[in-house]
Amino acid sequence: VARRSTIRDVAARAGVHPATASRALNPALAGRITEETSARVREAAQALGYTVDPTARSLRTRRSGFVGVVIPDLANPVLPPIVRGIEETLAAHGLAVLLADTDNSPEREATLVAQLEARRCEGLIVATATRDSPTVRRLAGGDLPTVLVTRDADGAGLPLVAGDDDAGVRAMAGHLLGLGHDRIAYLTGPPELSTTQTRLAAVHAALDGARGRGGLVVRHGEAFTAPVGRRLAAELLRDRRDVTAILAGNDMMAVGVYEALADAGLRCPQDVSVAGHNDMPLVDRIAPPLTTVAIPQREIGVHAARLLLERLGDDAPPPERRLLPTRLVVRGSTAVPNVHASAGNVHGAIPAGGPH
């Protein structure tokens, strides 16, 4: 096994001092070195197959070249495209991604963030935030550049990139009102998540004033999953058989709502309209195809990475909240209330709003 060649080997071969070789190989120092010397060094490096040892460089420069990405659960279909967007963007800037999956546990979040700090990450992109996460609060106070994605933390003042849920949910509410619904239920997740709060606030803003007051029922569940959606919908249908539309906090919950409707012998959309949020893969193929709000996942990742890159620079701009445009996607799960739909379902996509 041949020993890996070092900067000394390169220097020796080029007949210069290691420091000179180092400088010749550093693009930032171009111009401060003779082109001839530089060429000789590059040639030597090439011949020896030299690549810099990032560990040694890190030790010296105090820059690790790593960014930590903290996610709640990679199996959540919203996240992979976001992670991809982050990874691509950072890789283009020579930064590598250290992936940490907390499995939705605050304790694991604390541990993993501590480990990422110990590994001297240059920055963090955090998708795990609960509104009151102590770990995130600590990060907000510290000097490790941090950007939140998808989920916000109260009062932390950290930069955030997310879909414009407010506009998306308002567009969805408008769509339902336009169809003539006035007994609408909103099934959502735990209040600890900003996602829950933001979407719920938008629902209230859009529906509280509309038509006969009291037309909106809200139910919280402990997670954004199909089983929880099913349970909430079942309970709802027991109490309030008169609802004409059920808005789910996300697509998985909507799938659970489908089950509860089937259990109750109700048809979607003829008896009850259902809508989701996220537009995850295959929801356009389920029965009925789900009306939902699409969020620009990869773009969210790209923008989060860009925001972090900005903050890694010398003059970090003030924390920015960047909300990317969502899109209302109308499919077959929503229809005019109490009317037997017969013709083909409406398909289409309507912009729901831009950054604000």
CB of 289 to its own copies, least distance (A): 9
Phi, psi at 97, each rounded to 5°: -100, 125
How far is CA 127 from its chain centroid? 6
Give residue for tokens 């690790």.
64
User: In what side-by-side order are the strands of the sheet with 327-330?
Assistant: 292-294, 327-330, 348-351
Nearer to DNA, 57 or 211 (CB): 57
* Dihedral sign for Cα atoms in the order 264, 266, 267, 272: negative
Residue 283 binds which of its own copies, DNA, none (CB < 5-8 A, kind-dependent): its own copies
Nearer to DNA, 46 or 338 (CB): 46
CB of 14 to DNA, least distance (A): 9
Strand 292-294 relative to strand 327-330, pairing = antiparallel
Whether the CB-CB separation of 316 and 145 falls below 8 Å is answered with yes
Nearer to DNA, 42 or 84 (CB): 42
How far is CA 59 from its chain centroid? 32
Q: Please tell me the distance from the alpha carbon of residue 69 to that of residue 142, in angstroms, as a whole number.
A: 17
Nearer to DNA, 9 or 166 (CB): 9
Nearer to DNA, 27 or 214 (CB): 27
Instruction: Give the residues lining the site for DNA (CB under 7 A).
Output: 4, 6-8, 16-20, 22-26, 31-34, 36-38, 50, 52-53, 56-57, 59-61
CB of 308 to DNA, least distance (A): 21
3-state DSSP assignment of residue 255: helix
Residue 197 binds which of DNA, its own copies, none (CB < 5-8 A, kind-dependent): none
Whether the CB-CB separation of 165 and 200 falls below 8 Å is answered with no
CB of 24 to its own copies, least distance (A): 18
Residue 6 binds which of DNA, its own copies, none (CB < 5-8 A, kind-dependent): DNA
CB of 73 to its own copies, least distance (A): 8
CB of 42 to DNA, least distance (A): 12
Residue 100 binds which of DNA, its own copies, none (CB < 5-8 A, kind-dependent): its own copies
Q: Please tell me the distance from the alpha carbon of residue 208 to that of residue 212, in angstroms, as a whole number.
A: 9
Residue 33 binds which of its own copies, DNA, none (CB < 5-8 A, kind-dependent): DNA
Bridge partners of 351, per DSSP, are 327
Whether the CB-CB separation of 247 and 186 falls below 8 Å is answered with yes
Residue 195 binds which of its own copies, DNA, none (CB < 5-8 A, kind-dependent): none
Nearer to its own copies, 80 or 174 (CB): 80
Instruction: Give the residues lining the site for its own copies (CB under 8 A).
Output: 1, 51-56, 58-59, 64-65, 73-75, 77, 79-81, 83-84, 87-88, 91, 96-101, 103, 112, 114-115, 117-120, 143, 255, 258, 280-283, 285-287
Whether the CB-CB separation of 198 and 129 falls below 8 Å is answered with no
Nearer to DNA, 19 or 96 (CB): 19
Residues with Cβ within 8 Å of 352's Cβ and at least 6 positions away in sequence, in order, are 164, 167, 168, 170, 171, 172, 293, 325, 326, 327, 328
Whether the CB-CB separation of 38 and 30 falls below 8 Å is answered with yes
Residue 101 binds which of DNA, its own copies, none (CB < 5-8 A, kind-dependent): its own copies
Residue 343 binds which of DNA, its own copies, none (CB < 5-8 A, kind-dependent): none
CB of 152 to its own copies, least distance (A): 24
**Nearest C-alpha neighbor of 279 from the set 75, 77, 84, 127:** 77
Q: Please tell me the distance from the alpha carbon of residue 138 to that of residue 144, in angstroms, as a whole number.
A: 10
Residue 32 binds which of DNA, its own copies, none (CB < 5-8 A, kind-dependent): DNA
3-state DSSP assignment of residue 354: coil
CB of 173 to its own copies, least distance (A): 25
CB of 9 to DNA, least distance (A): 8
